[in-house]
Amino acid sequence: RNIDGKAWTKVNPNCGSTSFVVPDLITGQEYFFRVRAENRFGVGPPAETIQRTTARDPIHPPGPPKNLHHVDVDKTEVSLVWNRPDRDGGAEITGYLVEYQEDGADEWTKFQTVPMLDCVVTGLQKGKIYKFRVRAQNIVGLSLPDTTIPIECQEKLVPPSVDLDVKLIEGLVVKAGTTVRLPAIMRGVPVPTAKWVTDDTEIKPDGKYKIETDNYSTVLTIKDCVRKDTGEYLLTVSNAAGSKTVALHLTVLDVPGPPTGPINILEVTPEYMVISWRPPKDDGGSPIINYIVEKRQSKKETWGVVSSGTSHTKIKVPRLQKGCEYIFRVRAENKIGIGAPLDSEPTVAKYMFDPPSPPGKPTVYDITENAATVSWTLPKSDGGTPITGYILERREASGKWVRVNKTPILDMKYRVTGLFEGNTYEFRVFAENMVGLSKPSPSSDPIKASRPITPPGPPINPKLKDKTKESADLVWTKPLKDGGSPILGYIVECQKTGTTQKLKDSDEWERVHKGSIKETHYMVDKCVENKIYQFRVQTKNEAGESNWVKTAEVVVKEDLQKPVLDLKLSGVLTVKAGDTIRIEAGVRGKPQPEVVWAKDKDATDLTRSPRVSIENTADTSKFVLTKSRRTDGGKYVITATNAAGSFVAYATVIVLDKPGPVRNLKVTDISSDRCTVTWDPPEDDGGCEIQNYILEKCESKRMVWSTFSSSVLTNYAKVTRLIEGNEYIFRVRAENKMGTGPPTETHPIIAKTKYDRPGRPDPPDVTRVSKEEMTVV
């Protein structure tokens, strides 16, 4: 029966053997079969096939393998290869049986069955001759064999060799962009393998390189050659007998690379410059025959040719405009063409030296009633060229500067004559080099033309400004008279004794510093706590020292001082929204006060805000708030606290911004071609006066806004030129000096009169009729 049916069909009338050919089957149809034995007592139970059987043509053994031959011979083994049979006998080939026969023997020896089309027969004996045969095998059985010629097992190796075109040996020269083929013929037994190497790296086939190798030749193809492909290419061919390496030389010619930078500016003047450069690192494989030099002003795009025919790497660029900034570029040229450019840095056409820096502040000494000597120090810089002299000027108080010397001064001091006794003078100095004059030096201290100087007066009112348990801070005022000479400094000395013993004039005075004190204050340190000290101060000028002036006695110990805040703010601080608010306060007090910043009545700690930073030092506290907003305006509370008490200061800040939206926007008095728009001012005017309002309108069906007026000064506006029957929307924005606020829009309105056409009257009645008239109501 077939697999789709359930009924069994009898296919033979009588069968006395144990096999039977079932006729009349349908090709491709699958069947089950069963057999029952019969004797004189009847038919026995059936035996069924377990698997279905497909009706198809019968299969046969495959055809013999083709082209069986050896590819390698060694002393104990032979390598065989063959091709598939022309026919597989109707079934898949499952393998190939390899056999060999020693010369003179009658029997074939089975080696093994292999699945592939090659086999290495091993275990042979050196010097003996063998024949080999291979038979294909499928499910039916083995094919007829294909047999080799007799093969002798012996070592037979031929070292590889390479034949090259003479052009490749001498070196191949091509232009950039060319595709190059490097062919080579190779020989050897067994067939050698080929490997291409350049720059110690094996070449692998990719988009640029292509390698084609067969049993007799190999070809390396290089596409679109560039300069970096220039070099030596090594071909190594190898087999079991050895290897052979040959070198092929390739030179790729191209335009040269850019000259080696930078472009050096060797000489700069207002009329010309001298520039130099170095040859390109890559000449493109061909000697440089020329350099092309161009220039342009840095503000222009057009290049002008300076030279197109120089082989030198240095050139003078003439005909420059004084004060103009120039850029130069240089390109190298070989027989292939012109290479990439090298640009210089912008350079101004001027002397390459600068004027000197100003001399030091002049010092005036040896003053008489009609003359004085002025000296100064060297400038920090001579501008790159030697200083040729100095120009000295003087002026009377608040007067004009007058040149003192006619010719440059070669020394760094000068005796000025022709002064008038009693007049006050200042002096300044210019240094000069080949480029020109420097800026003036700082003005000297004013001096008065007078007779020779005397020692100065004593300091005024030296006193203790502050003290700690280890130091005393002294201050004093300059003397009324400087003796006709600048004060060179002050000298401070001290006496000290025990905690109760009084100081005596005979006690030894000690100097508390080295050199002279230039300021009118000095901190005496390393004091002993609770000791009694007295200090004295004197003034010093070039003529000598003044008399001593003493301070009151003082016990050195720590004092407590209540905090004091000095707010560095006059009046109200006004900033724009988005700007940074900065407030600084000076801090005093002992011990060092703790400073806290807060805002408004709730005294919120401002350090919680990420926009706030507070920097406290020994004598200042700085508050910084970034990206200010309107809400950041208000009263800021600064509190300084220490053991002696506390101090509170206030700073008022106003943050200006654009105004808020207008309120209660309405449209009234609507007619066919006009209406009135009214509103209330914004709740927040942005911190500054509203300057005007901007009124805009649009038709609902178009939704295109147009400005009716950008300078409305009142809280209402009469809008005209409306089109009867059209629907309109109006919006209003307030404007102050900070900008324009957000708009407020009205509901849509229709331009029409406030009255409608009258209704239809009732039907008329005739109440009285005559021959000439009637009454209609």
pLDDT at 412: 93
Q: Which tokens go with 374?
A: 């002025």
Q: pLDDT at position 501, please? A: 57
* Sequence-ordered list of residues with C-beta below 8 angstroms from that of 298, at least 6 positions apart, any chain: 325, 326, 327, 346
CA distance 707 to 62: 98
Cα distances from 195 to residues 213, 490, 509, in angstroms, run: 10, 92, 99
pLDDT of residue 276: 95
Query: Nearest Cα to 445, choosing from 517, 513, 328, 363?
Result: 363
3-class secondary structure, 547: coil
Phi (first) and psi of residue 735, to 5 degrees: -135, 130
Mean pLDDT, rounded, for 142-156:
88
Question: In one letter, which amino acid is 110?
Answer: K
DSSP reduced 3-state for 167: helix
Higher local confidence (pLDDT), 414 or 8: 414
Which has more pLDDT, 740 or 350?
740
Cis peptide before 262 (omega within 30 of 0): yes
Beta bridge partners of 242: 239
Q: What are the pLDDT digits (tens) for 250-259?
A: 999 999 999 9
Stated as kind and residue range, the H or E segment containing 98 is strand 95-102
Can you give the pLDDT at residue 771?
79
Task: Give the amino acid at 129.
Answer: I
Sign of the four-CA dihedral 507, 512, 516, 517: negative
End-to-end CA distance of the chain: 115
Are 185 and 162 within 8 A, CB to CB? yes
What average pLDDT does the structure give for the chain?
Answer: 89
What is the SS3 assignment for 199-265? CCEECCCCCCEEEEECCCEEEEEECCCCHHHCEEEEEEEEECCEEEEEEEEEEEECCCCCCEEEEEE
Distance CA 539, CA 518 (A): 10
Q: What is the pLDDT of residue 453?
A: 75
Tell me how crowded residue 133 is: count the other CB atoms within 10 A of its CB: 19
CA 654 to CA 31: how far, in whole Å? 104
The closest of 427, 306, 279, 320 to 363, measured between CA atoms, is 427
CA–CA gap between residue 373 and residue 412 (Å, rounded): 11
Write a three-state SS string for 135-155: EEECCCCECCCEECCCEECCC
User: In terms of pLDDT, which residue wins out, 565 or 606?
Assistant: 565
Q: Which residue, among 215, 237, 216, 232, has the nearest Cα to 159 in the 3D structure?
A: 237
Concatenating the DSSP letter of every residue in 654-687 gives EEE------EEEEEES--SS-EEEEEE--S--TT
Q: What is the arithmetic mean of pLDDT over 330-348?
A: 94
Residue 416 has pLDDT above 90, yes or no: yes
Angstrom distance (rounded) from CA 176 to CA 675: 81
DSSP 715: S
Integer Cα distance of 557 and 471 in angstroms: 8
pLDDT beyond 80 at 128: yes
**Cβ count near 185 (within 10 Å):** 13
Better-scored residue on pLDDT, 577 or 601:
577
With a cut of 80, say whether residue 699 has pLDDT above it: yes
Q: Full-prediction pTM beyond 0.85? A: no
- Pick the closest to residue 185 from 219, 220, 158, 222 (CA basis): 219
pLDDT greater than 90 at residue 390? yes
Q: What is the rounded distance in angstroms from the CA atom of residue 154 to the CA atom of residue 126? A: 6
Cβ distance 523 to 473 under 8 Å? yes
Whose CA is closest to 455, among 481, 428, 429, 431? Answer: 481
Range in 485-494, 564-573, 763-772 the model is least confident about: 763-772
Residue 388: which of 353, 349, 427, 428 has the closest Cα?
353
| pLDDT (average), residues 281-296 | 93
Query: In the chain, what are the domains?
Result: 1-56 (2.60.40.10), 66-152 (2.60.40.10), 158-253 (2.60.40.10), 260-348 (2.60.40.10), 363-448 (2.60.40.10), 460-555 (2.60.40.10), 561-656 (2.60.40.10), 663-750 (2.60.40.10)
Per-residue DSSP letter, 18: S
Return the amino acid letter for 501: Q
Q: Residue 167: what are its φ and ψ, rounded to 5°?
A: -65, -35
Q: What is the mean pLDDT of residues 128-145?
A: 92
Q: How far apart are alpha carbons 320 and 298 in whole angstroms?
A: 13
Which run of H or of E encompasses 168? helix 166-170
Q: How confident is residue 358, by pLDDT bands cut at 50, 70 and 90? A: very high
Token pair for 525: 């340190």
Given a cut of 90, whether residue 73 has pLDDT beyond it is: no
Distance CA 144, CA 122 (A): 23
How many angstroms separate the CA atoms of 770 and 317, rounded?
Answer: 125
Residue carrying the six token digits 């898949």: 92
Query: What are the pLDDT digits (tens) for 83-109?
Result: 999 998 888 899 999 999 999 899 999
Res 368: pLDDT: 86
pLDDT recorded at residue 765: 85
* Alpha-carbon gap, residue 44 to 38, rounded angstroms: 6
Residue 384 or 327, more confident = 327
Q: Going edge to edge, which strands form the sheet with 472-477?
A: 460-467, 472-477, 521-524
Measured CA to CA, the distance from residue 365 to residue 445 in angstroms comes to: 11
Per-residue pLDDT, 714: 93
Distance in angstroms (rounded) separating the CA atoms of residues 575 and 584 = 15
| pLDDT surpasses 90 at 197 | yes
Q: Considering only 24-38, 112-126, 281-295, which range has the smallest mean pLDDT?
A: 24-38
User: In the numeric block, which tokens belong to residue 308?
Assistant: 């197109």
> What's residue 126's pLDDT?
86
Cα angle 447-450-452, degrees, rounded to a multiple of 5:
100
What is the token pair recorded at 489? 């400094």
505 Cβ neighbours under 8 A, 6+ residues apart: none
Mean pLDDT within 437-466: 90
Q: Which helix (H) or strand (E) holds 169?
A: helix 166-170
Confidence class for position 505, pLDDT limits 50, 70, 90? low
Q: What's residue 115's pLDDT?
A: 94
In the sheet that holds 716-719, the strands lie side by side as: 663-668, 675-680, 716-719
Q: Is the pLDDT of residue 483 over 90?
A: no
At residue 288, the pLDDT reads 94
CB neighbour list of residue 52: distance below 8 Å, 6 or more residues apart: 3, 30, 31, 32
- In the structure encoding, which two tokens stand for residue 536, read together? 């004295």
pLDDT value of residue 22:
86
The Cα–Cα gap between 515 and 603 comes to 52
* C-beta of residue 294 within 8 angstroms of C-beta of residue 326: no
pLDDT for the residue 764: 86
Query: Looking at residues 608-629, what average pLDDT do you find?
Result: 89
Planar angle of CA 362, 366, 368, nearest 5 degrees = 115
Other C-beta atoms lying within 10 Å of the C-beta of residue 292: 18
Statement: residue 604 has pLDDT above 80: no
Lookup result for tokens 């008022």: 652
pLDDT tens digit string along 159-169?
899 998 888 87
With beta carbons less than 8 A apart as the criterion, state whether 281 and 290 touch: no
